[in-house]
Structure 1
Amino acid sequence: MTKQTEIKDVQPIRSLDRIEDMKWSLKKWCGERDYILFLLGINSGLRVGDLLNIKTSEIRGKQVVSLKEGKTGKRRTIHLGNIYDELNAYIDTLDDAEWLFPSRKGQNPITRVQAYRQLNKAAQMADMPDGIGTHTLRKTFGYWHYKQFKDIAELQNILNHAHPQITLRYIGITDEQIESNLKTFRL
């Protein structure tokens, strides 16, 4: 199985308990940097490449930021109010680091591979045998945004998908789940 296939096969974390398990595991086994990466990823829906390229100066002390997405070139407004305190407490520990997720080796941010390794280490420690990928963060955001607001058009816009069906498949809303909902739908 190639890495490309693995990325396509990752699923969102569909259990709030599992999300809490991951948070605990990241804090205990990986550290604050990796915990904040997970927290920001599941609360923003940004791609991992965009997360890793955030500079501390772009986000320090802000509750709302506008970031340019690498893949689409579009600007995204990210609201950080729900994670503001944790995010800024972490930033305060970085001293003068340029990158929000600095590598311990050199002056660059961590790599995608390192982010993947840390997330999978935490997933194993949280007893998630299938592990997760870096794209799990974005898919988890999409899944829970949809579950909370039920607005696929808005989520499609946030994730920059071309069609609603792509978004539904992306977040794991299967035909079976849709069929089940239609069986109980009544006005």
Structure 2
Amino acid sequence: MHTVQPIKRIDQLEAMKQILHKRSKRDYCLFLIGINTGMRIYDLINIRVDQVMSQANEIHPYLQKSSYLDPPIYFNQSLQALIHEVIEKSDLKREDFLFKSRKSKAPITRQQAYRIIHYAAEEAGIDEPIGMHTLRKTFGYHAYTNGIAISLIKKRLQHQTTTETRHYLGISKIDSSEVKLDINL
């Protein structure tokens, strides 16, 4: 079994986004939520519409799921718009899974999610081993390089120590030249 890595290069992330966007809104949404939230794949594929959409058909800014409360899963404006589009385009009901299988009412399987991500990575020319932890690792790596405290990333990834988180993300040493404390007021 290969150890998978985060996708560190922005151009590769953009290429994967374009490939998935052309292929399927559902698959594109799966990828974007994965790399923007750091959720575990099991939790990601099991999101239900009623956990992201209010009774008034508005997308919640936070996932309504108890296993991610500290810190909660936040959906930025672009993710909220995409989620709403996926729900409308797929004609999903409140009790449906957001990433519903095309063959049944069940969510897509972990294996199908892997095929989706692996296909996009191959098409984007990514040679490094890719797996379902790639999405979480990509989230954590880019959060870290954009100045998010490792302690917060540790909490999101539900790790016990910051050392475990650094090892998971492939950050062997603290390189402050990679961190950007970008405040754009």
SS at match of 2:64: strand
Structure 1 residue 150, shift from structure 2 partner: 4.3
Q: State the number of aligned residues.
A: 168
- TM-score under structure 1 length normalisation: 0.83
Structure with the larger strand share:
1
- Residue segments in structure 2 that go unaligned for 5+ positions in a row: 54-58, 178-185
2:14 aligns with one of 13, 20, 23: 20
Matched, 1:86 2:82: yes
> How far, CA to CA, are the matches of 1:118 and 1:58 in structure 2?
23
Residue 26 (structure 1) shift: 1.1
- Is this contact kept in 1: 2:92–2:98, CA < 8 A? no
Alignment deviations for residues 109-162 of structure 1 (CA, whole Å, 9 cap, x no partner): 000000001111111111113352111111111111111124111111121111
User: Cα RMSD (Å) of the superposition?
Assistant: 1.8
Q: Contact 2:137–2:168 at 8 Å: present in 1 too?
A: yes
Q: TM-score, normalised by structure 2?
A: 0.84
- Out of 25, 31, 38, the position equivalent to 1:38 is 31
Q: 1:59 aligns with which of 52, 70, 75?
A: 52
Instruction: Specify every segment of 5 or more residues in structure 1 that has no aligned partner in the other structure, as ranges.
Output: 183-187
Deviations 1:65-95 (A, max 9, x none): 23233xxxx6451111242112211121121
Paired with 1:130 and 1:160, the residues of 2 have a C-alpha distance of: 25
1:96 CA displacement: 3.0
* Counterpart residue type for residue 108 of structure 1: A
Query: Following superposition of structure 1 onto structure 2, how do residues 8-157 of structure 1 map, counting pairs within 5 Å?
Result: 9-28=3-22, 30-60=23-53, 61-69=59-67, 75=69, 77-82=72-77, 83-97=79-93, 98-157=96-155
Superposition misfits of 4+ residues, deviation over 4 angstroms: none
Q: What secondary structure sits across from 2:60 in the alignment? A: coil
- Percent of residue pairs identical: 38
Higher helix content, 1 or 2: 1
